[in-house]
Amino acid sequence: MTMNTTRATTSVQGAPLAQAGFPLTIGQHIRRTLVLAVPVMFARAGLVIMVTVDTVMTGRAGAQELAYYGIGLAPQLVMQTIGIGLLVGTVVLSAQADGAGETERCGRIWRLALILALGLGLFYAVALLWGEGILLLIGQTPDIAAGGGAVLRYFALGMPAILIFIATSAFLEGISRPRAGMVVSLGANLVNAGLNWIFIFGHLGAPAMGAAGAALATSITRWLMVAALVGYVLTMRDAARFGVHVPLAGHWRMLRTLLLLGIPLAAAIGLETTAFAASTTFAGWMGTAPLAGFQIAFNTTALVYMLSIGLSTATAVRVANAIGRRDRVGLARAGWTGVGLAILLMLAVAVILNLTSGAIAAIYTDDIAVQAIAIPALGIVAWLVIADGAQGVLMGAMRGAGDVILPTAIYGLAFWGLAIPLAYGLGVAAGYGVPGLLWSLCVGLIVAMVLLALRFHFLSKQEIRAL
């Protein structure tokens, strides 16, 4: 028995087995991963359900409005996911501090993350005000750029809010309390749907704004979500134990740690997301129907990926907890348990997607031309999500261990070194259209999955180092 194990055994009476020096069984690893992952899945799914509802309701306003929404969604989604990467250090540092018993550091980490979220959100908001020019710059037609630009201007209003919400959710997930984020995220969909009804179609005296109305409804909803979740954190019964109200004096150096961890992760997530956004751009070059069909496939992929995000976050937290208590065996088992669960879950999802692709396309649109593109695209998505889920959880495991540089390089190789050139070659140059785009992304995801698995295997054999 090691010195660290002996100290844990003698100082923590009645603690969980892993903290008392006994390794967890695989069944216990699965249970603990799922207990944390399921609420995170629903919380993240709530955010994508909001986009899905926006997409479906906008589709009912016409294929043109759906195209406007799809092209406007892509740039702000890239910004949002890069922000998630920058803020994901909040989960890792909070989980490592919680695992080490230094709970008061967690609240300080959260408040530093709020500063980052607000600053980045305001920067994004200003950038999105120039959305029409951005879309023209990447080759969209004047009509699509004008409609998408209006969508981006309304998304700009909610960018600070969504990043503050993400930072707060990350803090709660890091201390293994994801349920509040889940409740707020799911409940917000009711508000968003009601506001969509008002602003997309012009009810209760509001003008019919189409796709721009969906973006406005989402921005309003995001600020209400922030008010609810931040209010919850500030009024937690044990807020003092987690340092929610303690001064930041003497702890500003943790901001540097957040950035050193977050910047490479933001770059990694940005590489993946911009690859999907570039594919959306390629689809836009093909016309309105291919763009709308690709948006249906993309939105379905994003919704399914939220299941993987739940497992990825749970895996990151459990790996970080293991590092906090210097448990190398627990680190490896937590990581591979998450990956195995992701593959099993995505295989089940793949079967469902293959059986229901026609029904899913019909939910989004009644345009026959768009459905003809979306249905086979969803058949490809059924295969794509398996690799996407596994690589996402592997990246979460690496994130929990604080290993961010090499995984970022892997993403660069897989997505921009391979997937995007292949997507242009197959989808645009060779004329295979939307299927060519999706198969190319699938190849990139498989390469990322294999290389990340090899990296985690070697990482789990090395000496543990906390951040």
Which sign, positive or negative, has the C-alpha torsion 422, 448, 36, 105? negative
The answer as to whether 257 is a domain residue is yes
Residue with the larger pLDDT of the pair 24 and 64: 64
Residue 163: what pLDDT?
Answer: 95
Predicted local confidence at residue 250, as pLDDT: 63
Residue 464 located in a structural domain: no
Of the candidate ranges 1-5, 242-246, 305-309, the one whose mean pLDDT is the lowest: 1-5
Angle between the 368-400 and 433-459 helix axes, to the nearest 10 degrees? Answer: 10
Mean of the pLDDT values across residues 364-385?
90
Contact 374, 297 (CB under 8 A): yes
Question: Which of 166-170, 308-312, 425-429 shows the lowest mean pLDDT across its residues?
Answer: 308-312
| Share of residues in the chain with pLDDT > 70 (%) | 93
In DSSP notation, 11-23 reads: H-TT--TTTTT-P
The reported pLDDT for the residue numbered 242 is 85
- The helix (run of H) or strand (run of E) holding residue 465 is none
pLDDT tens sequence across 182-192: 899 999 999 99
Is the pLDDT assigned to residue 109 strictly greater than 60?
A: yes
Instruction: Inform me whether the pLDDT recorded for 462 exceeds 90.
Output: no
Per-residue pLDDT at 19: 45
Choose between 466 and 255: higher pLDDT.
255
Question: What is the predicted pLDDT for the residue at 245?
Answer: 83
pLDDT of residue 67: 83
Closest CA to 272 of 411, 408, 384: 411
Per-residue pLDDT at 376 exceeds 60 = yes
SS3 139: coil
The reported pLDDT for the residue numbered 87 is 85
Eight-class DSSP state of 221: H
Nearest to 61 by CA among 215, 219, 207, 200: 200
Whether 193 shows a pLDDT value over 50: the answer reads yes
Higher pLDDT, 453 or 137: 453
Residues 295, 14 contacting (CB under 8 angstroms): no
The verdict on residue 7 lying in a domain is no
Report the chain's mean pLDDT, rounded to a whole number.
Answer: 84
35-44, 152-161, 383-392, 415-424: segment of lowest average pLDDT: 35-44
Mean pLDDT confidence for 160-173: 92
pLDDT value, residue 31: 78
Looking at residue 8, its pLDDT comes to: 32
Q: Which of 137-151, 229-243, 250-264, 377-391 has the lowest mean pLDDT?
A: 250-264
Query: Within a 10 A sphere around the Cβ of 234, how many other Cβ atoms?
Result: 10
* Assigned domain for 19 exists: no
Residue 463 above 80 pLDDT?
Answer: no
Q: How many domains does the chain have?
A: 1
Could you list the residue range(s) of the whole structural domain that residue 186 is in? 24-459
As a whole number, mean pLDDT of residues 369-394 equals: 92
Polymer length in residues for the chain? 467
Does 127 fall in a domain? Answer: yes
Tell me the per-residue pLDDT of 44-81, one tens digit each, with 9 for 90 and over.
778 878 888 888 898 888 878 888 888 888 788 778 87
The answer on pLDDT for 11 being more than 70 is no
CB 335 within 8 A of CB 456: yes
Distance of CA 43 to the CA centre of its chain: 11
pLDDT of 466 strictly over 60: no
- What is the distance of C-alpha 301 from the center of its chain? 12
Which stretch of DSSP H or E encloses residue 430? none
Specify if 10 maps to a domain. Answer: no
Instruction: Examine the pLDDT at 176 and tell me if it is beyond 90.
Output: no
Q: Is residue 465 part of a domain?
A: no
pLDDT of 107 above 90: no
State the Cα–Cα distance between residues 239 and 36, nearest whole angstrom: 20
Q: How far apart are the first and last CA of the chain?
A: 24
Q: Who's near 303: CB < 8 A, 6+ residues apart? A: 45, 48, 49, 51, 52
Are 214 and 58 in contact by the 8 Å Cβ rule? The answer is: yes
- Determine what percent of the chain falls in helix, strand and coil, rounding each to the nearest 5: 80, 0, 20
Question: Which tokens go with 78?
Answer: 């890239």
Tell whether the model's pLDDT for residue 355 goes beyond 50: yes
DSSP tag of 250: T
**Are 161 and 151 contacting, i.e. CB atoms less than 8 angstroms apart?**
no
Mean pLDDT throughout 285-314? Answer: 83
Report the range of poorest mean pLDDT among 223-227, 246-250, 279-283.
Answer: 246-250
Q: Tell me if 352 is assigned to some domain.
A: yes
Give the pLDDT of residue 153.
92
